Structure 1
């Protein structure tokens, strides 16, 4: 079927760029076609050419020494202006070419026949052409044959581009296509500002659960429906990109922002009802955007900024959020810290433990410390564990880091014992630590090596909700408790607390989060809540420790409520190991 030619030069150049074929590596299949075409027509030279803005480049060739020519002397520049095969029987007799340097050169071109390579959208990107240094005739049958061969060539080129730049599930342009399109736009000279909008529609973990339960095809059908929905609602037949599972993208001109955001708002209200499935599926819409133009740095930076804004929209549960440099700085700091942490963990030289004392309220006696890790960064100073521990947890670094804490804590207990002090030390372990198969053995080995009784060590568990749902973690706690190590549930009452875990997780102590107890001396409701928690804990035979006690009024309230122990700045900030014995003298 003959294709209709589109003569829009700007769009033609864009179509050529989008095929991502210019300046690419040699192609064995196209080389085979040029060789066969040369043999079929019994002609010295056969070329597959691509006509760019200023040059003609040979994608495949036979018997041609050069790889490109300037566009203004290219015969193929004439060929791409017509949907038909162009035939020049004798270039010396053709006024268009008689003075062309390709013709006037020694053994110059005399015969030329070129069939345009026309894409499905009607853009002639180059030609399949025949060249001879002798004049010759070219029959109608030969013209039709060359045209058919050119159709094969462009189908191969477009099919390969489609495979590389189309998402196989949604059939939308993929991330690679998006990156190429962004790169093309920032190379333009018109300085037009654009929006890159990234859209999240699906809970990835839930989608994987669906695939695991009933198969990936069900998830793929949902993704197809979401892609079709976005194309319809945003009126973007060609500009919706599929990036990854449930994530899509748009490129819009900045002057279209208001209308695009209205479309996104409408889509957000309709998406849940529009995506139908025979299983319950939660689809929602969050979008993040960044502005770019030809002055922007590179496609990778623009994409990173778009991802940053999308994650901000998701974390703040907002429909649309712009790129914010401040948030990006935080993410960059986290990434740099993770790299630095990797180097630091290998030697552990920049880590140290501080110890915060705990006081038993019944007799105001010192009865143990909590070990708190600190990282002295060589350039940033002291880094809080609340900043670097979550980073370590996402990587294998958490294991050697925990090993160091265990070893240091047990070694310190042994050192204090040599000086006649029996001080129990609490260390914090995460859910990830507790599922490590050899954790119990590592702790047991450290205790034996330093000749420390298990009763001198206490494990404080974080993420109790996660622990409850992991039988391996609970089994580790059981084994540690049977060994004689005390177990404490940390941050009780903060965030989401399911009382069910008090039945499932073996523990001896509940530590009330400081967010609960800070207002009890001023707020009667807070006091009632804390009292009920302490009473319940005592009824279940738990020892209760209140964290974050900073003033005398709070301390008196906790005494009144019969809390067992406290720790906080009212008694002491975290101390160096060599300060503990001196500090503890008034409380022994």
Structure 2
């Protein structure tokens, strides 16, 4: 039996958290501003935006606490997400659930805790906005409403961030989140000694295509290309729309000529297929640049720059080039 309660909708809740693409991301000033306000306005030393992951709680923003995460079985917030109400613990040393918790018996010596579930518009509690004090106390006056209002601001900013994370037309990662995912994947591949290939596809004269056939056809083309990339390269790859007319695919297990051949097969298939509108086939020129991770790469930035340079050169020369 788990040391903490499990929400009835745990699988769906976790999927909703994963869909935010925010775990282990760097915080930003909007989140930090909220935790500072919570700490200052309630007069407590610690305020946290806590996201309850599979086996841990991870702090998206924190004031007054050094740790970036704790095990889920120690997390007060693991209890708070099981209800839609504000959870208040006036004195944890007197609460049967928490009196033997190492966070109560030792540093940071939690006594008072108040946590508001961070609930998505779909009804999933991802974590909490919580405040903590080493002194017993209660919520007084309008403090509970204040916490709820601040929690609403957290969710609003998270949803806004999520919406900007994905291309609304194709559903693929935008350039920055694709790059962030690449940074993590590059570190993992280097640690495990696995091959890693970045393929970049560019729709040549895409703006001319849209002028000739209309923006609606341009949007359809982008959506179709995104679907074909995901179908051909599979679930193990990372996909991004990194500029208006450029798509990137990052995949492990491909190296050297094998990588170039697979990417070129996809590119030539698109070009051969063309784009048919009302029975008329229109040419669809596509350029390709590829780069494979090598021992000289210090980070994903090196790999990305080589693939991007190869794509640029391919567009100038009309050929597909490795980086």
Q: Which TM bucket (shorter chain)?
A: 0.5 to 0.7
Alignment of 1:190-339 (within 5 A): 190-200=192-202, 202-204=203-205, 207-212=206-211, 215-236=214-235, 239-255=238-254, 258=258, 262=262, 265=265, 268-269=268-269, 273=273, 275-278=275-278, 281-292=282-293, 296-314=297-315, 321-323=321-323
Ranges in structure 2 where 5+ consecutive residues have no aligned partner: 1-7
Q: Is the 8 A contact 2:182 2:300 kept in 1?
A: yes
Q: Is the 8 A contact 1:193 1:253 kept in 2?
A: yes
Shift of 1:73: 6.7
Alignment of 1:157-172 (within 5 A): 157-163=158-164, 165-172=165-172
Ranges in structure 1 where 5+ consecutive residues have no aligned partner: 104-108, 324-588
Distance 1:260 1:289, change over 3 A: closer
* Structure possessing the higher relative contact order (Cα contacts under 8 Å, 6 or more residues apart): 2
Q: Is the 8 A contact 2:289 2:311 kept in 1?
A: yes
Q: Is the 8 A contact 1:81 1:124 kept in 2?
A: no
Shift of 1:305: 0.4
Matching of residue 16 in structure 1 with residue 20 in structure 2: no
Q: Is the 8 A contact 1:73 1:100 kept in 2?
A: no
Matching of residue 173 in structure 1 with residue 179 in structure 2: no
Shift of 1:100: 2.1
Alignment of 1:453-472 (within 5 A): none
Q: 1:25 aligns with which of 26, 29, 45?
A: 29
Shift of 1:191: 4.5
Root mean square deviation, CA, Å:
5.1
Distance 1:293 1:168, change over 3 A: farther
Greater shift in the superposed pair: 72-81 or 275-284: 72-81
**Distance (Å, rounded) in 2 between the aligned partners of 1:117 and 1:12:** 15
**Distance (Å, rounded) in 2 between the aligned partners of 1:12 and 1:239:** 14
**Distance (Å, rounded) in 2 between the aligned partners of 1:215 and 1:29:** 44
**Distance (Å, rounded) in 2 between the aligned partners of 1:273 and 1:79:** 57
Alignment of 1:348-497 (within 5 A): none
Pick the structure with greater CA Rg.
1
Q: Is the 8 A contact 1:287 1:313 kept in 2?
A: yes
Aligned partner of residue 288 in structure 2, secondary structure = strand
Q: Is the 8 A contact 2:118 2:155 kept in 1?
A: yes
Task: Write out per-residue CA displacement over residues 112-144 of structure 1, whole angstroms, 9 at most, x where no aligned residue.
Answer: 133565889xx9975311335325599xxx8xx
**Distance (Å, rounded) in 2 between the aligned partners of 1:316 and 1:210:** 20
**Distance (Å, rounded) in 2 between the aligned partners of 1:29 and 1:2:** 31
Aligned partner of residue 134 in structure 1, secondary structure = coil
Aligned partner of residue 308 in structure 1, secondary structure = helix
Shift of 1:81: 5.0
Q: Is the 8 A contact 2:287 2:311 kept in 1?
A: yes
Q: Is the 8 A contact 1:119 1:154 kept in 2?
A: yes
Match of 2:111 in 1: 110
Name the TM-score, length of structure 1 as normaliser. Answer: 0.40
